A and B are shown apart, each in its own frame.
Chain A
């Protein structure tokens, strides 16, 4: 996969893709909740994996986050289906209990410690994007671009 094609042409392409994604984001949110999570906000969690459930209809990643005051907080993060994720490069064995991870999520609207997975940054440098919200074309052909670092507001 190529991620770095500098120049104006690429910028335009990205913009076009972004517009298309927004316009067509209704295609593949298939089994997902639409009301539970705020997809206009991104929060970045840093924590330790407590549970990683590779199952349908959704994967679940439970992460323990140590807050600034020293208290531990459990976050339950819902992902897409293993079927969709495997087509975007995820593997059940990518994540193990005890792993330290950085993860971008769409937070719950009501402030609960739950979220929808957006991007996972693994200790070894592997970056995995959750396909929820992608267009049918992107689901059939794989992710177009991946962020290199977290994009959300750090949770403390």
Chain B
């Protein structure tokens, strides 16, 4: 909410109107369906038991872990409709020479979902789905209790996520990101790339997202072994209209080796040299990039 401006009307009518509005808001809150209210008091055993039974009937995202089998970078097969400022940024963009994530700097959404190598695991409890992403050692908290987004979510790397089921699809709506999350806004044309460049990041356009970046992910099982996640990016500082990326694929692993592990990032011998833009090896000061 914005602070009351200094020139706001200060007469009785305004006060009555304000009071009326407050009552209306209170009434609206009171008539919200039961599940839409975050619990403020302990739930009874019966209510909890019912919630767990409902969970049991949901699509099985829960067994084992999910390993990405999609390339790290996103493809943009349909050219996005960029804003003028984004077009200008792309025109002057110099591709990164090396991995911008070979150190302990957190990635944040959306790119945290792109990094393979290590699996991720879903956990479920009444009103919340947690998604542990091993490659960053971070856990996404997806609220499924029917709440709405906060009016002013404090910015975080993983944002504020709200989830709901549309049939067998888990829809996750996230917003409230810090400016530093790694954001890919496109891909350079193949003709602009050096031939035989082995980097999976060649041609990737990284850039800043807007403060109101919003992501809508649609997660569904293609079959028991395969999870598909399709992400739509809402950011009117970059795209004139929301852009839907091709689905990413993850395969399920249920053996012990697929168990999730701790990820504590502590050794920063690799660091990106800010002057050269290249990844360097630094044996003297391991903490240089923190």
Q: Does A57 contact B (CB under 8 A)?
A: yes
Q: Evaluate contact between A86 and B261: CB separation under 8 angstroms.
A: yes
One digit per residue, 1 when the CB lies within 8 angstroms of any chain A CB and 0 when it does not, for chain B 91-120 equals: 000000111011110000000000111110
Of the listed stretches A5-13, A32-40, A94-102, A119-127, chain B binds A32-40
Q: How many A-B residue pairs have CB under 8 A?
A: 131
- B residues near A35, Cβ cutoff 8 Å: 97-98, 199, 278-279
How near does chain A come to B178, taking the closest CB pair, in angstroms? 20
Q: Are A114 and B265 in contact (CB under 8 A)?
A: no
Asked if A139 meets B67 with Cβ closer than 8 Å, knowing A34-B198, A87-B257, the reply is yes
Main secondary structure of the interface of A (DSSP, over half): loop
Q: In the complex, A25→B196 CA distance in Å?
A: 13
Q: For chain A, which range describes its interface: under 10, 10 to 19, 20 to 34, or 35 or more residues?
A: 35 or more
Contact B72–A32 (Cβ < 8 Å): no
Which residues of A lie under 8 Å from residue B68 when comparing CB positions?
27, 136
Q: Does A80 contact B (CB under 8 A)?
A: yes
- For the complex, is B123 an interface residue (Cβ under 8 Å from A)? no
Interface of B is mostly: loop
Taking CB atoms and an 8 Å cut-off, the chain B residues in 128-149 that contact chain A are 134-135, 137
Min CB gap B215→A, angstroms: 21
A80 CB contact (under 8 Å) in B117, B257, B278: B117
Q: What CA separation (Å) do A36 and B134 show in the bound complex?
A: 25
Known: A83-B261, A84-B118, A86-B261. Contact between A29 and B279, CB under 8 A? no
Distance in angstroms from A138 CB to nearest chain B CB is 10
B198-A39 in contact (CB<8A): yes
Q: A30-B117, A57-B103, A137-B67 are in contact. List 9 more A-B contacts (CB 8 A).
A: A27-B70, A31-B99, A35-B97, A36-B280, A40-B198, A56-B137, A81-B117, A81-B263, A140-B258
List A residues at the B interface (Cβ < 8 Å).
Answer: 24-36, 39-40, 53, 55-58, 60, 76, 78, 80-84, 86-87, 112, 114, 131, 135-137, 139-142
